Amino acid sequence: MSDVTLNHAEWRAARRVGLIDGFGVPSFALFTTMIGFGAIAREAGLDIYVTVATTMFVWGMPGQVAFADLYAAGASGLVIFTAVALANMRMLPMTVSGLPMMHLKAHKRGLFRNIVTAHLLAITGWAQLTAARNKVPPMGVLPYYLGFVSVVYVAANLGTVFGYYLSDIVPDPVIRVAVYVTPLYIVLLVSSARVWANRLAVLLGAILGPLTYPLLGDWCILAAGLGGGTVAVVIAHKTGRAPE
């Protein structure tokens, strides 16, 4: 029942399930990705404080990389703003689809906490929400998610610091493997979506993204998202395979 509030023990139990799920592949993936970002940021000439603050407050890998790349190139503020906004635009559909699963209104937690909750939502946490629904009751999704993202958030920031300092010691091929890990992990995560329409959207987006990139550059995210997403939802609704 989504309108029944959790007691203290139930809240903590759901949070513990999320904490445990946060360890393992998700933390490993984020840790290693952020090693890659730490290395990129150092090459770009950012100091350690700005580098860690970027992970903490941008909290979206593609936008972070765009920022570091463009900063190194001496791009203007307008260019940086536009590129990061484009690279991290997926936060909009992700929050729109992800936040209702947490029943924020029923939890009555106040605006500031809701803003923090929305800020922490990035690909890994968002993709985990579907799994959360099978593991905890509907009202437990929020504490599950908070437990999960807190582990992942700490791992990512540790990875950023490690990457910043370890890039001299660790040979390049190791860093390359580390950076390769995250997109691969996320592709598998979204490919395993339960809803048929979403799986079709993943397939179409995965084709359209790289296909339109040589032509459109970073705008290919829009082509993949709007093109793949629209075709998928139309096909699903026309063939009676719309989500329940």
Closest distance of CB 187 from another protein, Å: 5
Q: Does 213 bind another protein (CB under 8 A)?
A: yes
Q: Does 92 bind another protein (CB under 8 A)?
A: yes
Task: Name the nearest CA neighbour of 90 among 133, 114, 61.
Answer: 61
The position carrying tokens 């936060």 is 91
Give yes or no for a contact between 82 and 76, defined as CB atoms under 8 angstroms apart.
no
CA distances 87 to 6, 45, 183, 236, Å, are: 37, 21, 14, 27
Task: Name the nearest CA neighbour of 62 among 183, 184, 226, 207.
Answer: 183
User: Which CB sits closer to another protein, 30 or 91?
Assistant: 91
User: Which CB sits closer to another protein, 13 or 135?
Assistant: 135
The site string for another protein over 44-83 (x = CB under 8 A, - otherwise) reads --xx--x--xx--xxxx-xxxxxx-x-x-----x--xxx-
3-state helix/strand/coil string of 15-44: HHHHHHHHCCHHHHHHHHHHHHHHHHHHHC
Q: Does 133 bind another protein (CB under 8 A)?
A: no
Q: Does 241 bind another protein (CB under 8 A)?
A: no
Positions 148 through 207 that interact with another protein (CB under 8 A): 171-173, 175-177, 179-181, 183-193, 195, 197-206
User: Which CB sits closer to another protein, 13 or 120?
Assistant: 120
